[in-house]
Structures are given as structure tokens and as C-alpha cells.
Chain A
Amino acid sequence: MFKQMSSKTGVLSRFLLRQDRFRIPIWLLSLSGITLLTAQAFTGLYATEENRQTIAQTMVNPAMTAMVGKGYGLDDYTFGAMLAHQMLLFTAVTVAIMSILLVARHTRAEEEDGRLELIRSLPAGRLASLNATLIVVIGVNILLALLTAAGLYALGIESIDLAGSFLYGAALGATGIIFSAITAFFSQLSESSRGTIGLSFAALGAAYFIRAIGDVSNETLSWLSPLGWVTGTEVYVNDYWWPVLLTLGVSLILILVSLYINSIRDLDAGFLPSRPGKTRASAALQSPIGLALRMQRTGIIAWAVGVLLIGASYGSIFGDLDTFFEDMEIMKDLLSGLEGGSLTEQFIAKLMSIIAMICTIPALMAVFKLRGEEKKGRTEHLLGRAVSRNRLLASYMLISLIVGFVMLSLAALGLGSAAMAVLEDGPSLATIYGAAMVYMPALGIFIGLAVLLTGLLPKFTGITWLYLGYSFFVVYLGGVFQFDEWVGNLTPFGHVPEVPIEDVNSLVLIVLTIIAAVLMIGGFISYRRRDIQG
């Protein structure tokens, strides 16, 4: 029975590999590559044991614990302990994301688009597609585990030993496998690929937060989350294998359940009732800006949570700033070029330029959404009705400006509140908020550039990302590489007064604002003049 239902699994597996012949290697190389590069970078960054102990101290605070998990072996913070503490959880989450996307892509998405029907009409078994997907994705995870393990061991770093490296890889692979199984399960329950991906990511998010809360307050709670099991391996410190076995056991059960459900259900059917949506549009939806907001809602909320966390995590290390910097040559380099003010103030100024650039990303995405809609032939629905091009572009730009402002505010508030919690007499929240807000005109220039390109050269909107990448590089690493002044002057972020160590220079801010406005006006004029792609 099972044999017949699995007929042609092998052919389909090869077919999947063929479809993903670029996707899979890119995932594998980037995931294992990042782990290896980080491990290598640690040896340069924290050369002495003293360095490592210093960083270990800064890691012991609730914000860090919530983000990266409980640290193990903090009193003997070897490279291995450090890698497992700072990288394992994040990498595991990324591996989970890879697995979710790969599984959803070949199960429900395939079914929803009607391609599975074609395959099922051939002499392929009912379970063949799910089998093939699981075989391939589990194979990818095993390969990733081996690659990472072998690579880490090959680096020959002290304390990153063979047994530990294999456990490190296995923990990553097992996380990938359990999230493959979870996605396979949801792909049987939900009727749509959006639903499958949504539920799987919700499970991942829940696993992350349950673990975060558990790690900070109640350790038992962490053991309810598969991501708690990952850090529970205590790689390079105690090397526990049983959490990996637990993960694999649960995965096996989930896979068997999914296969069973798949074998008894109809094609295209799901087990979760598809909830009927609204039959009427709410008043908030019935305008171009309402529609644009609705389409970006989830993304904006995710970014808001993200920047708040980034702000808070930076803020939480303020307490140990002095010890942190005394031992670290590279940190001093990063801040060089900044003069005056206390170390804390210098650090705030530096951080804000970086945070502002991070906050530019969601703002740019909000503008480029318009271009995405155009490519999908959906702006036509609006422009074909009584909506002018000015109004349409203005809607997206307004959202972008608000997104930029809100993100910057949230990051500053996150940073400020966390810093206040750990610092006795640090800078006030108002100072920190002000230091963030001076970047608004520079952010506006980027939005302006995005608007201009949307109007003038819609095919080359990617230039904006390159420019932001350049800005990040010269502003972030400017101190380390000692660039000439003009290199930094090519980006608006290089001109923003470094509050709080510098005074607010209104003239500069006004000039930046004017440039932003000119770019925007240029964008509106050219958008009105060009053809709309269909």
C-alpha cells in the first residue's frame, strides 16, 4: 500500500533537485559560510582570553539572553562557547526559514497552482510528492549539518573540536528537519500556500518567543520550544546529544502524521476550515493609501518589532561600555574621527547613523512596493479609475516617510529605555531621541531618490540599494579604513551632525531636506510622464 502510494518518489526527488539546482546550493553555501566566517572572525576580534571574558560579561543581561539564548560556559568563554552562544540560535532560525520555504514551495504551492494535479494524473503515487519533498529537504539539512561540522573542525580553532562541531552541525540540521516536518504538517492542514507558510512562520515565531521568555524567567518553559532544544545541546561546553535525538523523534512523528493525512485527503482539500473573509471592504481600505497600507501591514509590523529589538539590544550593552571598549582596539577604530563627549555619547552618535540606515530599508521597501504592484499589473486597477498618478505616488511616499519616522522613533525608544535601565546617569531619552531624529532628512533623501527612480528609471530602482550599501560601508567602517573626507561626503548620512557630541546644525539639515524635496518633485514629474507597465 505505502509502496504503491510512493511510486515515482525517486523520479520526483530528482526533479525537485533539478528545479532547485541553484536555490539549494546558495542556501547551503551561505548558511555554512556565515557560520565559518563568524568563527574565523572571532579569533581576530577577541584574540586574548581577557577579551573574551569581557565580551562574556556584556552578554549577561536579559535582553541578550532573550535574543540569543542562555550562554553556557560563560566563566570560561572559549571560542566554541562563544560561537554556540552568539551564533547557533540565529543560524538555527535561518535554517528553519530555509526549510519552511523549501517545503511549502514543493507541497501546497505546487498543489495550489495545479501542477501537482498534472503529476498525480501520471502513474505517480499519492504520497510521492510529499515523500520526495521531505527526502530532498531532509537531505539538504543533513548535508548542511555535515558541511558546517566539517568546516568548523577544519578551521582548527582551539576549543572547536570534532565532537562539538558535529553536534553543532547536527543541532542545525535537526532544527531544519523539525521545521520541514512542521511545514509538511501544516501543508496538509491548510488549503493555501500562504496559509502553510503563515502557520509555519507563526510556529517558528512562537518557538522563538517561548524560548526567549523561558530563558529569561523560567527554564522549563524553554524546553517546550524546539529552539530551546537547540541551545539545550550546550555545544562546545557540555555537548549533550539527547536534545538532537528528541528533535528528530518529534520530527518523525510529525512526518508520519503528515503522510497519513496526505494519504486520506482529497487533492486541493485542507483540514483547517478556510475561514470566509469579509464580503465588504472596510472604510479604511477604500483608498489608494488604505490599500497600500493594508498590503504592507504585516511587513511594517515585523520591521517595527525588529528595530525595537535592535535598539533595545544595543541599549542593553551600554552598562558595560567602558570595559567593552578598553580592551577592544577595533571598537576604538570604529569610533575614531568622533571627538568630544563621553564614550557613551560617542557610541550613541555612531550607533544612530547605523540605526538610521537600517530604518531606511523598510522606508525604501514601502516606496518600491509601488513598482512591484506595477509589475504585477495591479496599478492599472487604480489608475484605470479616478485616481491620479500624483495621488498614487503620494500615497506610497507618505507611507514611506511615516514608516521611516516610526522606525527611527521605535529604535531610539528601544535603545533609550534599555540604556536607561542599565545606566545610572546616562543621557536622557530626549537626547537619544534627538540624536535619532537628526537623521530624518538624510532618510528623506533616500526616499526621494527612490521616488525619483520610480518615476524616471523604474528599471534601475536597485541603484538605491547600492547607494545605501555604500553609505553603510563608508559610515560604519570609515573610521577603520581612514577614508578621505570626500568618500564620506558622497552620502547624506555623512553630513548629518553627530548629535549628541556635535550641536544640531540647522543649516545642514535644511539643505538636506531641500535636496530630498527636489528629488521627490522630480520623481512626481517623471512618474506623471511615463508609460505604466502592464
Chain B
Amino acid sequence: MSSLLRTEGLTKRFAGLIANEAINFELDTSSIRCVIGPNGAGKTTFISMISGHLQPNEGRIYYKDQDITKLNVVKRARIGIARKFQTPTVFDELTVYDNIELAVLGTDCPYNDRNKNINEVLELVHLTNESDKPVKFLSHGQRQWLEIGLLLAVKAELLLLDEPTAGMTVEETESTARLIKNLTQEFQLSMIIIEHDINFIRDLNAPVTVLHLGRVLMEGSFEQVSANEKVREIYLGHGNS
């Protein structure tokens, strides 16, 4: 019962289409879980139910042993569950600094510590030099980091990252993997990461949950999952990887 997040029989149907069916999931504090699966497997639906953007038809969600199934997005964000969307959702017209500041304003951080906190986050996500730039001038990869920075700035404990490396170069992807590992180890953060980039998942070296047609196909280490015949068949493709 010491898990950070637990779901029991989580089910979501859209007008007859079953997006998620009876998903039982458990995540420990300060750990990473990658969620993979082909398009339409229900990965984003799953994350949306945890963030509160979607209400499940059946099942329950427990966060720190509290039933949060009925809490809305705002309340879940307030207890530490924050989400990075599939398309970077940041404040395009504002500067990088102002973006992070907005997130810090959502915490009880006293006025005098704001600047320090903002700069710490900028440092973590490698955006110190871009601090005064309007976000619309950032590269796609930097926007992804900025959004992760927003989640750090609100002091989230469970980060839901929907395709955090989409649009990143190989170097940026590697750097993101290092950042994520560092965050879980140093700040005891936990992450659920939806990804397609196999190299990134290998770099993270974290347990993987495979979704297929809305159900959990299997869970295991990257090696176990990538060696599994069924997974290779539906997701990785025959003899590939």
C-alpha cells in the first residue's frame, strides 16, 4: 500500500469504443514508468484519466492511498499531479522567464524566493540563456523542456509526460533522458512517460507497461518487453530492433 499511484480496473469507453479496459497499474515513489503501445492503444486516454482531464466509466484511482477518482484537474494539480501535453502547451507570447514565473505563482512560494526558484528551474531544464526570449522563438525541443520546467516549478511530484521527446534531435533526446533520470533520483519525482522513441526508453532503463487495444499487454523491464514475441509482433514489428 506504499505505492504513489494505483489504478484499479480503470475503464474508459467512447460511444461504444473501448479506449481503456480494466487497467490495473501501480507506480512507486521516485520511479519512472514508460507506457508504450501502437497508435490507438489508449496511452493518452490513460494519462488523461490520471490527470483528471477524462473521467473513467469504471474503476478507481488512488494517489498516496487517497481516492482521487472524482477530483478535477485543478485539484489533482494542487496535490502534485502535473501533465505535459502531447503538443507542448506553454505560453507562446510570454518570455521563458515569465512562463516559469506563472507556474511558481501557483505555489505558496514567498515573493522573495520567486526569482531564486525560477532560476533554479531554468538551470535544470537548460534554458537559463533563453530566459528573456519569447517562447515562440524557441526550438521544438526547448519548448518541451520548458513545459517540463513548468511542472517542476509547480512542485509536482507525479509528472505525466506525453511524448516528451517528440521533435527533439538525438542529442536533445539523450539530454532529456539524463534530465529525467536526474529528477527522479535527486528530487524523488515520479514519472509516467508515453514514448515512441525506443532509444529514449532504452536510455531511461525503466520498467515498461505495454498497452494494446486498451488493455495492459504486459509489464516488465525494457529487455523483457523487447524480447517478448507478442510485443514485437504488435508494436516493434517482426525481427526489428
Q: Answer yes or no: are A and B bound together in one complex.
A: no
Which residues of A come within 8 Å of B, CB atoms? none
Which residues of B come within 8 Å of A, CB atoms? none
